[in-house]
Amino acid sequence: EPVGDVSQVIDDVIPLAPAAPSQHRETMRLNTTSTTGSAWRRRPVIIALAAAALSAGAIGISTSTSPAEAADPIPDEGLGPVVVEAGPLVSPRTELLAAGVRGINLENDSFDETDISVTSFAEHNGVMYVGGKFTQVEIAATGELHDQAFLAAFDRDTGAWINSFTPTIDGNVWDLAVTADDRLIVAGQFASVNGSVLTNAMASLDLPSGELTPGWRVDLDFPESSARPIARAIDIEGTDLYIAGNFTRITAAGAPTAEVSRIVRVDLATAVHDTTFAPTIDGAVFDVDATSDRVYGAGNFFFTNGESTGGAARLFTDGTLVPDLAPYIRTIPDDPSNWFQQAVLALDDDVWMSGGQRLRAVYAKSDWSVIRSWVSDTWGDGQVLTEMNGIVYSGSHANATTQLWQDAINWPELDGATSSLPIRWMSAYDRTAHEHIDWVPQIGTSEGEGSWALFPDSTDCLWSGGDFNRGSFDGDVPRFVAGFAKFCSADTTPPSPPTDPSATATSNGIDLAWTGATDDRDGDVRYELLKNDDVLASFISITTFRDVDGTPDDRYFVRTMDTAGNRSATTPVFTAGPPPPPDTSNPTTPRDLTTTLDPLTSDITLTWTPSTDDRGVAGYIIYRNGTPVGGTATATTIRSEAPGNHWYQVQAIDTSANVSYKTAPVFIETVTPSTPRDLAGTVDPDTDDITLTWTPSTDNQGIAGYVIYRNGAIVDIVAGTTTTRSDGPGNHWYQVQAVDTSSNRSYKTAPLLIQT
């Protein structure tokens, strides 16, 4: 079994598996061994023929140290499990999800340079609501695509699509929030929801129906621009709803239209516009976070209430500026085009902000002094912020080559930097210590946009949305991710231990084997071998291993390792006795060889009575006309042969490569008509009837007719070389097969696609 790309193994497996941080990136060596014995080397031709029927080989990753090492001798009953210590940080591995989203809508989009599918999340009664620019929902197991654009619902625990929630929205969704009275507030750049045109950029939907809330209306306008108004961000604070974006008018709850400037406050229950909160901002606001006494805005603007504030608005709840605050960090001070801020998060006495150029920073609420800052060296404007269990998470478009420099204040000089850690699409920080945590999520993107939405759900799992297109790897296979991913707390449950361990002495060492185990979470498991109170090898991907230095006196144990680094209890001790004497006995000759010809497919089925052997029969070699043509592990095989005369024989081979005598030859003759040619089809535009035609086949006895296949299934038998069918709308793959007067069948034609 191939190990796969070593860099992928290091990035996606090794950081997770050991329990001790100092062992995250140990020196590794590939240990490739084989369980084949010397007798195989005496018969290379037989080996090649029987390879499909026999198992051999082992591949593992060996390490010199492990959390499983024991200071004292391991008792015969083995060791107990080793469990990873739980912490507040979520695992970097993605969870399995049953569905996702596809497509990116750029029509009526003021941010068409952001190629992202998912922009927002909200949760209600075990359901995750996902908003964005997507146009379809994709089912993981089948790849089916369903038209559901901009807003969809998924099961929080499994990720399954909830197809009963199907509101119709005619534009991108940018933010979502759930109210205490079971409503979903939707913000974005749309003009119609469920057919109602009084929903420019804002709507309230009743849950779980998805119908518009009666009487709740917030209608935004932006007459200065030909672009649609946009509600880019919303925030609920008590009974108030704050709305931020790019708009200059609001019509709410039947009140007269009012002039506003990019940020407003309305009553969450009634949608009545609070005209006492009326700050003026001269550009788009991307994010808003309100507390009981402050309102913070981040965006691409320069003035707030007529004063130069750059992309950070720091307001009292009456809309006035908080005075005497220091300016926020501008990583390129001389370039105002890079002063924009993307996200803001208020946490007690700290305020976190992120944005251009490549900035993340935390400020003191009291005077806006810088508590700590981080600047990435190549990619990665901060795009979104959230907090869960004392960890602040930030989303960005930083790719796998990016380093994040702590205490840097500018770019590209990175002055003041004290340390750096890698960053990829997301990053994590200790909320209290203000330290960047070494956490690199295992996830891929389609456009390099990264994370634009982060949401902690009620089960302490973190949802991330953007342009994600693959999750963490199970072996060489990436988990399904489409648009959004889910990260949950570290796994602290050990997997089950292996069973049925065995050790067999050979001339080349000790062959070890065991029955595989499972884990409580989905994903591959690996195995760890211990020998004489020390670790022999870790991260073994299959259930066999050869210890080339082993002796019959060595004591062995094996345990299971999961992707989080938990280790099961070991097996009890197992050892190898002295090697068995050489196997010189041949297996018995197979008996009662028979051949059967399928008149429909011309396939030949060979069956025989199985052979016996004192060490076990490994398989059988098939001979046709005196030449070996394949191997099989069972006493039956099906062959597809060209027309002609065929003499078959079968020979048994045992686990030491000793072979039996061949059976007596058995004769069978196959005669097949020629394959029809030039299959063509036409569609009647009035009736959608399909007419198929083809060139006739030839046969030494004569053609009896033709079998018609549609989508692999027989649908008709006709005498001539044309037929007309009414198969309804859809995609139809047709094939034709000739049948002669002795019921012999030709090969089928190549499939012909006809769409009606």
**Range with the lowest mean pLDDT among 85-99, 271-285, 288-302, 648-662?**
85-99
Give first-to-last CA distance, the chain, whole Å: 45
d(CA 321, CA 312): 11
Task: Tell me the per-residue pLDDT of 526-585, one tens digit each, with 9 for 90 and over.
Answer: 999 999 999 999 999 999 999 999 999 999 999 999 877 889 999 999 999 776 788 889
pTM (predicted TM-score) = 0.64
d(CA 700, CA 27): 69
Which residue is it, tokens 């609501």?
Answer: 129
Q: Are 384 and 425 in contact (CB under 8 A)?
A: no
DSSP at 507: T
DSSP per-residue codes, 147-212: E--SEEEEETTT--B-TT----BSSEEEEEEE-TTSEEEEEEE-S-BTTBSS-SSEEEEETTT-PB
Residue 132 is predicted with a pLDDT of: 98
Whether the ω angle into residue 582 lies within 30 degrees of 0, i.e. cis, is no
User: Over pLDDT 70: what percentage of the chain?
Assistant: 89
Q: Are 620 and 650 in contact (CB under 8 A)?
A: yes
- Write the CB contacts of 305 (distance below 8 Å, at least 6 apart in sequence): 279, 280, 319, 320, 321
**CA 499 to each of CA 61, 427, 557, 560: distance values in angstroms, whole numbers, following the listed order:** 21, 40, 11, 10
Contact 655, 584 (CB under 8 A): no
How far lies 121's CA from each of 49, 453, 691, in Å? 56, 7, 51
Which is nearest to 62 in space by CA: 526, 557, 523? 526
- The pLDDT score that the predictor gives to residue 56 is 29
Q: Which of 595, 615, 462 is nearest to 88 (CA)?
A: 462
- Judged against a pLDDT cut of 60, whether residue 15 lies above it is answered with no
**Cβ-contact 736, 708 below 8 angstroms:** yes
Report how far residue 219's alpha carbon sits from residue 271's, in angstroms, rounded to the nearest whole number: 10
Q: How big, in percent rounded to 5, are the helix, strand and coil portions of the chain?
A: 5, 45, 50
What is the rounded average pLDDT of the residues 255-263? 94
Calpha distance 52→641 (Å, rounded): 20
User: In which band, very low, low, confident or very high, does the pLDDT at 699 lie, cut at 50, 70 and 90?
Assistant: confident
352-402 pLDDT, tens digit per residue, is 999 988 999 999 999 999 999 999 998 889 999 999 999 999 999 998 889
Give residue 25's pLDDT band: very low, low, confident or very high (50, 70, 90). very low
For 511, the enclosing helix (H) or strand (E) is strand 509-515
- In angstroms and rounded to an integer, the radius of gyration of the C-alpha atoms of the chain is 34
750 vs 597: which has the higher pLDDT? 750
At residue 589, φ and ψ (nearest 5 deg) are -75, 135
pLDDT digits (tens, 9 = 90+) for 268-283: 999 999 999 999 999 9
